[in-house]
């Protein structure tokens, strides 16, 4: 069934929050027993994905190649655990397949491949997503299609020149069908982001984008920001998301260097219980 875009009036915030909670449950289940993984980033981006897929994005899970679909581009391919969870929730994948995440021989590796239904690009190497999204947005405009492109990328990718080249290109070619979702969680592979990238919002504004900054774990703020990003005024849109790695599971929030966390098999039941108590 095709999901309509441009939702009317107010959003069903309790339903969207329930979707985000279910995504977090699913991710903890997927990661259990594997000893390590990108669970912290997945928990941090869950609210954004729930708002995108169940309030904003136009798609048809039964017809993933539908030409007029909106595109969601996940530049941070290591967030695949969250992508698979939301694709299953949206009907692209069978839930029974999700526990194979990250296992040898699985088609659900720890970074996305574009042969998986609903995945638009290979997101292993960082710094490529926004450039591809700009190309998609330009092509859709030239073809006269109503589709929009939503591109999630990270603050770590702002350390790469290709990201800023794409930022300039989007403004130059008036890609007002493009929405950047910039996940500013403050971490990269081995600790905090090392290059001075702030102020992120001011920089995107200076590059010709309409920009807002929100708490990326606040559903109401996310919905409001996405509503504002629908304006067709010749300017691309940027939503700077301040997210917390491990959000919803305080033990993971407190863990050092949460880019690729290690979790003992004995910990998973306690982490799942912690998620439920946090949202109880």
Phi, psi (deg, nearest 5) at residue 267: -90, -20
- The whole-angstrom separation of Cα 215 and Cα 191 is 21
Q: What is the pLDDT of residue 1?
A: 47
- The whole-angstrom separation of Cα 254 and Cα 245 is 9
* Residues 118 and 90: beta-carbon distance below 8 Å: yes
pLDDT averaged over 10-residue windows placed end to end, the chain, 280 residues: 54 94 95 78 95 94 92 92 95 94 88 87 82 97 96 91 96 98 83 81 97 97 95 96 93 73 81 87
What does DSSP assign to residue 207? T
Q: Residue 251 burial by CB count (10 A; 0-12/13-18/19+): exposed, middle or buried? A: middle
Q: What is the pLDDT of residue 29?
A: 92
- The whole-angstrom separation of Cα 183 and Cα 158 is 10
Q: What is the pLDDT of residue 110?
A: 84
* Residues 43 and 246: beta-carbon distance below 8 Å: yes
* Residues 183 and 193: beta-carbon distance below 8 Å: no
Phi, psi (deg, nearest 5) at residue 105: 85, -10
Q: What is the pLDDT of residue 104?
A: 87
- The whole-angstrom separation of Cα 215 and Cα 89 is 23
Q: Tokens at residue 210, please?
A: 């309409």
Q: Tokens at residue 52, please?
A: 């995108």
Domains and CATH numbers, the chain: 13-278 (3.40.50.970)
Nearest to 209 by CA among 231, 229, 236: 236
């Amino acid at each position: 069934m095709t999901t309509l875009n441009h939702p009317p009036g107010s959003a069903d915030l309790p339903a969207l929050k329930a979707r985000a909670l279910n995504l977090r449950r699913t991710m903890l289940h997927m990661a259990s027993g594997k000893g390590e993984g990108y669970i912290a980033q997945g928990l941090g981006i869950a609210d954004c994905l729930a708002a995108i897929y169940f309030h904003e994005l136009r798609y048809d899970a039964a017809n993933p190649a539908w030409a007029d679909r909106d595109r969601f581009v996940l530049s941070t391919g290591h967030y695949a655990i969250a992508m698979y969870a939301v694709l299953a929730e949206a009907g692209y994948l069978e839930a029974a397949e999700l526990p194979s995440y990250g296992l040898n021989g699985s088609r659900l590796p720890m970074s996305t491949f574009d042969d998986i239904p609903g995945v638009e690009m290979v997101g292993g190497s960082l710094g490529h997503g926004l450039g591809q999204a700009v190309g998609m947005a330009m092509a859709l405009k030239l073809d006269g299609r109503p589709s929009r492109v939503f591109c999630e990328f990270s603050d770590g990718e702002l350390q790469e020149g290709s990201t800023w080249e794409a930022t300039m290109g989007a403004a130059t070619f008036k890609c007002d069908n493009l929405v950047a979702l910039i996940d500013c969680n403050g971490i990269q592979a081995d600790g905090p982001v090392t290059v001075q990238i702030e102020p992120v919002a001011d920089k995107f504004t200076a590059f010709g984008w309409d920009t807002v900054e929100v708490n990326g774990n606040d559903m109401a703020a996310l919905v409001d920001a996405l509503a504002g990003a629908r304006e067709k005024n010749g300017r691309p849109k940027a939503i700077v998301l301040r997210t917390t790695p491990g959000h919803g599971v305080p033990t993971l929030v407190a863990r050092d260097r949460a880019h690729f966390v290690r979790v003992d098999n004995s910990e998973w039941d306690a982490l799942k219980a912690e998620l439920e108590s946090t949202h109880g």
